[in-house]
């Protein structure tokens, strides 16, 4: 089974995260996603569970609009703004690019796949051939 991970910006301050010893990257927490009454939390692994309760290794409330799923490519998450570069010509039904092309846009999850969506609405599937992706 494929492991899915999520990232979200903690509602706690960086100082508070440091004080409680929660691992973060400038306030960003990575782990599993749980949504409780519309409030998202990034949680760690299950350390114990029974039919009556569950104990988690860690948990942290995160800002709803910051939650994004990991794409499986480098360190790129849904919601990131990226540049994708290719060296070989690329052609499909809606797009034709010569050598050394570049696209900029936001990573979204639509139709069961991750896409880079440009400002003018062009959708580039992350399963296509490209050689570099950079979060900006």
For residue range 24-50, list pLDDT tens digits in order: 999 999 999 999 999 999 999 999 999
Tokens for 23, please give them: 């691992």
- Contact present, 78 and 125 (Cβ < 8 Å): no
Instruction: Say whether pLDDT at 86 is over 80.
Output: yes
Which helix H or strand E contains 81, and what residues bound it? strand 81-86
What does the alpha-carbon distance between residue 116 and residue 81 come to, in Å, rounded to a whole number? 8
3-state secondary structure of 19: helix
Scored b (16 or more CB within 10 A) or e, 7-26 reads bbbbbbeeeebeeeebebee
What does the alpha-carbon distance between residue 80 and residue 116 come to, in Å, rounded to a whole number? 9
- How would you classify the pairing of strands 90-91 and 96-97? antiparallel
pTM of the model: 0.81
Q: Higher confidence at residue 89 or residue 83? A: 83
For residue range 54-68, list pLDDT tens digits in order: 999 999 999 999 999
Instruction: Say whether pLDDT at 2 is over 70.
Output: no
Sign of CA dihedral 109, 113, 114, 115: negative
- Contact present, 101 and 57 (Cβ < 8 Å): no
Sign of CA dihedral 65, 114, 107, 58: positive
For residue 74, the model assigns a pLDDT of 87
Confidence of residue 7 (pLDDT cuts 50, 70, 90): very high
């Amino acid at each position: 089974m494929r492991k899915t991970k999520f990232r979200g910006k903690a509602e706690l301050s960086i100082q508070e995260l440091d004080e409680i010893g929660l691992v973060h990257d400038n306030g960003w927490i990575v782990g599993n996603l749980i949504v409780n009454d519309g409030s998202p939390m990034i949680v760690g692994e299950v350390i114990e569970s029974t039919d009556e309760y569950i104990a988690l290794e860690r948990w942290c409330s995160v800002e709803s609009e910051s939650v994004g799923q990991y794409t499986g490519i480098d360190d790129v998450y849904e919601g990131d703004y990226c540049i994708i570069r290719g060296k070989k010509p690329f052609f499909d039904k809606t797009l034709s690019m010569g050598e050394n092309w570049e696209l900029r846009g936001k990573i979204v999850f639509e139709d069961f796949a991750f896409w880079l969506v440009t400002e003018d609405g062009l959708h580039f599937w992350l399963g296509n051939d490209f050689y570099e992706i950079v979060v900006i």
